[in-house]
């Protein structure tokens, strides 16, 4: 039987207590770089941890809103947003390179991620902010998003699905204000990921299905039992001769 691999990413350097336990279990990390969380010290520490574990390093910029952890929309001019994203990504890129590594990708955080999924003007600003940072940067994009559509041909794209989040019929994530937004049961997380990985579909709460293809799957570091969820994914995928890509 042919050995298969699956790509798993995780948002780290956000002040959580499990980064050291999570890092060996993932393929790529997205490091908070000062917008919603993180500072020079946490960025350097997380970069070193990633390099020790041979994990791909990405920048995780957001609206500059630490008070709300970047989860609220912010009214900013296009130029303000561009400069903010540039500053966040560059600060991490410089640290990665000073430690002998390479920045592999960019993934937006929180409200900025959601806004760029549906707002073409915000997506255009995001792309403008990244164009001068290196042509080989990969961009993680939401499923069926404006950002992915506009970035096609400009960046290498990874379509991203969330292992621990439920979806609405328009491919938006279920709001965290709703009780079924987050998937915490290990078996349900696996079933959710396996269905997307093998059958290219998402099962909605009402029993309907959405067509979906993903290059990478995210487990949030602040999801309850995130370490146990990832350990479970390793075990369950290995039984099917699928391994989380190092």
Domain parsing of the chain, residue ranges? 4-244
Percent of the chain with pLDDT over 90: 95
What 8-state DSSP symbol labels residue 69?
T
pLDDT one-digit tens code per residue, 135-186 = 689 999 999 999 999 999 999 999 999 999 999 999 999 999 999 999 999 9
pLDDT one-digit tens code per residue, 203-230 = 999 999 999 999 999 999 999 999 999 9
Q: From CA 64, how far away is CA 59, in angstroms rounded?
A: 14
pLDDT of 136: 87
Q: In 73-94, which positions are buried (b, 16+ CB within 10 angstroms) versus exposed (e)?
A: ebebeeeebbebbbebbbbbbe
Overall fold of domain 4-244? TIM Barrel (3.20.20)
pLDDT one-digit tens code per residue, 23-82 = 999 999 999 999 999 999 999 999 999 999 999 999 999 999 999 999 999 999 999 999
């Amino acid at each position: 039987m042919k050995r298969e691999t699956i790509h798993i990413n995780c948002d780290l350097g956000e002040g959580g207590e499990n980064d050291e336990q999570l890092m060996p279990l993932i393929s790529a990390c997205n490091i908070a770089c000062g917008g919603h969380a993180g500072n020079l010290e946490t960025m350097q520490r997380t970069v070193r941890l990633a390099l020790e574990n041979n994990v791909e390093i990405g920048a995780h910029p957001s609206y500059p809103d630490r008070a709300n952890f970047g989860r609220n929309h912010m009214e900013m001019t296009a130029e303000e947003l561009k400069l903010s994203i540039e500053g966040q990504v560059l600060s991490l890129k410089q640290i990665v390179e000073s430690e002998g590594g390479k920045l592999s990708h960019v993934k937006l955080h929180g409200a900025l991620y959601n806004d760029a999924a549906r707002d073409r003007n915000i997506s255009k600003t995001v792309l403008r902010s990244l164009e001068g940072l290196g042509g080989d940067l990969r961009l993680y994009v939401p499923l069926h998003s404006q950002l992915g559509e506009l970035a096609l041909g400009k960046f290498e794209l990874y379509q991203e699905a969330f292992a621990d989040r439920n979806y609405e019929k328009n491919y938006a994530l279920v709001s965290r204000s709703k009780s079924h937004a987050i998937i915490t049961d290990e078996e349900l997380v696996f079933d959710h990921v396996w269905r997307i990985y093998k059958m290219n579909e998402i099962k909605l709460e009402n029993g309907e299905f959405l067509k979906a293809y993903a290059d990478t799957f995210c487990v949030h570091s602040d999801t309850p039992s995130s370490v146990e969820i990832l350990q479970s994914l390793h075990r369950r995928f290995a039984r099917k001769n699928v391994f989380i890509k190092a």
